[in-house]
Amino acid sequence: MSDQSNAPLPAEIRTIGVIGAGQMGSGIAHVCALAGYQVVLQDLGQEQLDKAVDGIDRNLDRQAKRGKISDDDHKSALKRISTSVELSGFGDCELVIEAATENEEVKRSIFQKLCPVLRPEALVCTNTSSISVTRLASVTDRPSRFMGMHFMNPVPVMQLVELIRGIATDEKTFAAIRELTVKLGKQPVAAEDFPAFIVNRILLPMINEAVYTLYEGVGSVEAIDTAMKLGANHPMGPLELADFIGLDTCLAVMHVLHDGLADTKYRPCPLLVKYVEAGWVGRKAGRGFYDYSGDTPVPTR
């Protein structure tokens, strides 16, 4: 792969590509389109893309009904989003943000296929919540214009974006992405490229400890979540939050922490592993630490 690191930065970011039309990718496309950028949203199947655009439409409508945006903002933002089932749709993008599943091999494969279709000056970001940005950058032809841009879920609501430099990230790349983050109406925070960065380095061990507390019989699901909401003033209990994030994602981050820092305090709880093996991965599966099949979530333990 030829090295594009010395190409000039794009004069202006106008078109942003987003890889992955799941919860995170859809949210990123939503905020980028609302901020006035043309967006190309890519996924492997048109059905997933149509579902994502419908979801963005509903979320924009919700914002308009609450008076956060105008009806014109809603319509204009939706018109700025186009979809593609091929990576070749990113040929005109000044920036591409990858928001595929939290699996390093999947991400590396995407970047290897993506780089040949990009302009030499295009910037690339990953929305990884835990994987080494330096390692991901190393499979691209532009490590100096590659960095982490970790949005929080749900993207349209959460204000924070963690910005992570890889070892080769150029300062001009970092400055351009920081400026873009502010234009999206988000608050950037710089994090070093260590496993799980800032938020998940602190949050996921807390969730894992809550699962251990359940596993060891210290308290029930309801007791643990109520205790943390009322005793620590958390808006959501840790097990409810785990279901919201996805237990598969929680487990993946714990594996990254355990492997990357080689410390037994990051060992994933066996009960978390068991739930993921059962396919009980939270809200998206209809079942996790709570069962979501009825009108009100019911604890499964």
CATH code assigned at 119: 3.40.50.720
Q: Is the pLDDT of residue 258 over 70?
A: yes
Domain housing 62: 15-191
Final residue before a domain boundary, out of 191, 224, 243: 191
**Total Cβ atoms within 10 A of residue 59:** 19
Cα dihedral value 25, 42, 246, 267, nearest 10: -100
Q: What is the pLDDT of residues 180-191, one digit of tens each?
A: 999 999 999 999
Are residues 220 and 109 part of one domain?
no
Are residues 28 and 169 part of one domain?
yes
**128 assigned to some structural domain:** yes
State the Cα–Cα distance between residues 9 and 173, nearest whole angstrom.
8
Q: pLDDT band at residue 10, thresholds of 50, 70 and 90?
A: confident
Q: What is the pLDDT of residues 177-216, one digit of tens each?
A: 999 999 999 999 999 999 999 999 999 999 999 999 999 9
% of the chain residues with pLDDT over 70? 98
Structure confidence at residue 43 (pLDDT):
97
Are residues 293 and 225 part of one domain?
yes
**2 assigned to some structural domain:** no
Q: Is the pLDDT of residue 78 over 80?
A: yes
Q: What is the pLDDT of residues 129-144, one digit of tens each?
A: 989 999 999 999 999 9
Q: Is the pLDDT of residue 128 over 80?
A: yes
Structure confidence at residue 143 (pLDDT):
97
Are residues 235 and 144 part of one domain?
no
- Catalytic positions, written as ranges: 129, 150, 162, 200
Structure confidence at residue 3 (pLDDT):
62
Q: Is the pLDDT of residue 2 over 60?
A: no
Structural domain count of the chain: 2
SS (H, E, C) the chain: CCCCCCCCCCCCCCEEEEECCCHHHHHHHHHHHHCCCEEEEECCCHHHHHHHHHHHHHHHHHHHHCCCCCHHHHHHHHHCEEEECCHHHHCCCCEEEECCCCCHHHHHHHHHHHHHHCCCCCEEEECCCCCCHHHHHCCCCCHHHEEEEEECCCCCCCCEEEEEECCCCCHHHHHHHHHHHHHCCCEEEEECCCCCCCHHHHHHHHHHHHHHHHHCCCCCHHHHHHHHHHHCCCCCCHHHHHHHHCHHHHHHHHHHHHHHHCCHHHCCCHHHHHHHHHCCCEHHHCECCEECCCCCCEECC
Choose the weakest-confidence range: 4-18, 75-89, 167-181, 274-288: 4-18
Which residues is 264 bridged to in the sheet?
none
**6 assigned to some structural domain:** no
Structure confidence at residue 11 (pLDDT):
81
Are residues 168 and 53 part of one domain?
yes
Structure confidence at residue 7 (pLDDT):
72
Structure confidence at residue 107 (pLDDT):
97
Are residues 272 and 123 part of one domain?
no
Q: Is the pLDDT of residue 145 over 70?
A: yes
What CATH number does the domain containing 216 carry? Answer: 1.10.1040.10
**209 assigned to some structural domain:** yes
